[in-house]
Every structure is written in C-alpha cells, then in structure tokens.
Amino acid sequence: MNSYIKSIATAALALLLIYSAKEAVGLTQKIDSSVTIAKSQPLTDTLIIPGERVGPITRTTTKQDLVKLFGTSRVVDKTIPGAEGIGSFAATQLKLDRGRSLLVVWSDNTRTKPLDVRNLGSAWKTREGIGVGTPLSELRKKLGNFKLYGLGWDYGGTILLDSSKLSRYQGKMILRVDAAPNAYEKFPNDYQAVSGDSTFSSSNSHWKPLGIKISEIIVLLNPSQE
C-alpha cells in the first residue's frame, strides 16, 4: 500500500511540475509577446495622418504611454522655446533609429496631452508619401502649384496648404522647406529673390537652383490648446 501511495504521490508531483512549467512558459511567451509588440510599433508604423496620429502617437497619448511603447531609455524630457523665442513648452524626445526619431510637444508640464509632434525623421511619411527630404519638384506633383513664405526668418519656407491640393490638411499639419546648406553661397541672387516675410509661388524660377526640400513637418494633434 505504501508503495502504491508513493507512486501516486510521485505521479501527482510530476503532473504538478509539468503544469507549472507550462504555465511558466505560457507566461514567458505572453511577456515576450507584449514586449515584441511594444518594440515593433515604432519600427513598422511610420504613417503620418495629419491632425490624428504619428504612428502610434495620438491625441490622447501621454508621457507614460510613450515609456510603455518605446522604453524608458528612449524617452528624454526637455523644454523648448516657443516661436520667435516667446514662452516655452514641455517636450519629450524619442530617440529612435533609422530616421524614426521625433519630438512630442505637450500642452503643459503634466505631459498628458500632446500639442504636436515635430522634428520628425525621414522615415515618417503621409499617405501621399510626403516626408522630410521630399524635394520641391515632388511636392508640386502632390500639392499642385502652391504658395509659401520666403526663406531666412522664423516662419521661412512655410507652405500655405490652403493654397494647395491638400488644403484639407490646413490646421492639421505644417510643412516647411529649406534650401541646400550651400545654396546661399552658390546662388546668392536666387536665394535673396525668394527670402523674407512675403509669399511666393512654388513655380517661381528662383527656387529651382536652391535644392529646396521639406526640412520640417509639424503634426498638430490638439491645436486648440496652442
């Protein structure tokens, strides 16, 4: 009888160990799966939807959400100056690789409501394929002929989207262009001809030699707070 009881106890213990091992494996798989999902989001979703989201970052994303999505080591808080040096804003830098880095600007120091997303790397694109580095020639194919501010000041190179085929993005996204780094030295007359606080047509011939490309995209998420 003792031998029989002992064999049952041994079998029960074996079953318990097997069950526990399966539970542990299952738990590990769940944890690994959640980690994989969190890490894969910034690598696979680089779509900009003006006024709605930049990849997984939406109107309701908080600083804590960013930490969950990207990990503590990639999330760095900072303070940035407002336009023309007026005021300051709480911001969070995401240090991601392969052109996926960006900066989230918050409505206040609680970092719970994003105003906009900016400093976007070249991997981020709209559905139309517009991203940092898109040349003027390609922009004119997607936007048609449009107007933009002259170069060389705080709002220099800002495209007036309401004058383009993408007028629906007005108030939801800001596109700015700039000339190539050596454009002023090589083509000073052309550069000066399209500089200053005035608007110019994208078909103006003085743009052509300057190597004009998208230099900045700002995606507005809660613009009423700005």
Q: What are phi and psi of 184, to 5 degrees?
A: -65, -40
Q: What integer pLDDT is reported at residue 43 of this predicted model?
A: 52
User: Domain total for the chain?
Assistant: 3
- Alpha-carbon separation of residue 91 from 88, 94, 103, 155, 197 (angstroms): 9, 10, 7, 20, 28
CB count within 10 Å of CB 22 equals 10
- DSSP label at 223? G
d(CA 210, CA 187) in angstroms, rounded, equals 7
Contact by Cβ (8 Å): 202, 136: yes
Does residue 135 share a domain with residue 218?
yes
Beta bridge partners of 195: 151
Q: Which of 58, 89, 118 is the last residue before a domain boundary? A: 118
Burial readout 105-125 (b: 16 or more C-beta within 10 A, e: otherwise): bbbeeebeebbbbbbbbebbb
Does residue 187 share a domain with residue 131?
yes
Does residue 132 share a domain with residue 204?
yes
Could you say which residues of the chain have pLDDT below 50?
A: 1-42, 225-226
Q: Can you give the pTM of this predicted structure?
A: 0.79
d(CA 71, CA 37) in angstroms, rounded, equals 12
DSSP codes of every residue in 32-85 = HHHHHHHHHHHHH--EEETTTEETTEETT--HHHHHHHH-GGGEEEEEEE-GGG
Q: What integer pLDDT is reported at residue 21 of this predicted model?
A: 37
Task: Identify which of 177, 174, 140 has the alpha carbon closest to the alpha carbon of residue 51.
Answer: 174
> Which amino acid appears at position 25 of this protein?
V
Domain with 6, as residue range(s), is 1-44
Q: What is the pLDDT of residues 16-45, one digit of tens each?
A: 333 333 343 343 344 343 443 444 444 589
Q: Which of 118, 141, 172 is the last residue before a domain boundary? A: 118
